[in-house]
Every structure is written in C-alpha cells, then in structure tokens.
Amino acid sequence: MSYIVELTDFKCEAAIPGLFATAGSVAPNNIVIQNKVTEFRDKYEKRYLDLFFEFNEATKEDVIAQDAFRDAIRPAITNYIAYWYLRDTTVSNTPIGATIKQGENSRRTSNSQRMALLFNEAVEIGKEVYETYYNRPYPNNEIFCKINIYNL
C-alpha cells in the first residue's frame, strides 16, 4: 500500500520540530526524527483509515485509490499523526519511569492546545469527507469525536 501522507505534508500547525535540516546545516538528528515520524505514519495512517472505513470495509480499497479522496483526507490524517507524535514526545519513558523533558535554563510550555487544535481539525475534515463520500452521518468513533481540553 502506498501511503497517503508524506513527510513533506507536515507543515503549518502540523509541523514537527527538527523534521528537516535548516538551510546550510548537516543534521543527522533529522534522520532520527524522520524515521520516528515515518514509524508513526505507518501506524496511525492505517489506524485512521481502519476507523474511517469501519462500517464500509467493502468500499475501502476503491475509495482509497481515488486521487480526490486522497487529497481530501490527507490533511486530516496528517493532523492525526502529528497529534500522536506530539503526544508521545511530550513525555519520555526512562528506566526510572516517565519523565518530562525540560532543560535547565528553559521555560516549559504545554503542547495541549496545539494538540487539541490538530486533533479537532482532523475531526472536522474527516466528518466532511465521510459525509461527502457516504452521504450519511459519520459513525461515533475516536476519529469523529473532538477533544475538549477544558473539560467542559
């Protein structure tokens, strides 16, 4: 299966820090980040599509083959992958347990609002694409439910 999302799709809100080397630099760390993002793409693109076609498995391959569908759903899947990548990189698992990455002379910020924005935007795009292709309401599963970061 060829992938819908490419590394170059991670831009704007879905940009992943360090994914590409800055102009004029040689950064082997970028390769490590690219490999990690590729692993996330492999896992979460498949997961997104499985959830999207949960009740329409018979049409899955035909719909995915359409360029119009791939172009329409690409931003939603990109945001979904970026959400899971950012969620994973916020905390590191170490031999002593989970730790929050924090430099000695830095100020820690929260990615939660950015992550919620990415996920909720993916939900809106996914709903629109689903209703366009299937002309019926979307199912009630993970990719069609927004995140409420304020717990309201």
- Residue extents of the structural domains in the chain: 7-91+106-144
53-93 pLDDT per residue, tens: 988 877 888 888 999 999 999 999 999 999 999 988 876 66
The tokens for 150 are 């304020």
According to the model, what pLDDT value does residue 95 have?
63
Residues (pLDDT < 70) of the chain are 1, 23-29, 91-109, 151-152
According to the model, what pLDDT value does residue 57 have?
77
Plot region of 110 (φ>0 → left; ψ -120 to 50 → alpha; else → beta): beta
Confirm if 81 and 5 have CB atoms less than 8 A apart.
yes
According to the model, what pLDDT value does residue 107 have?
59
Residues 6+ apart with CB under 8 A from 60: 49, 53
How far apart are the C-alpha atoms of 148 and 115, rounded to whole Å?
A: 11
Plot region of 24 (φ>0 → left; ψ -120 to 50 → alpha; else → beta): left
Angle 112-134/29-52 helices, nearest 10 degrees?
40
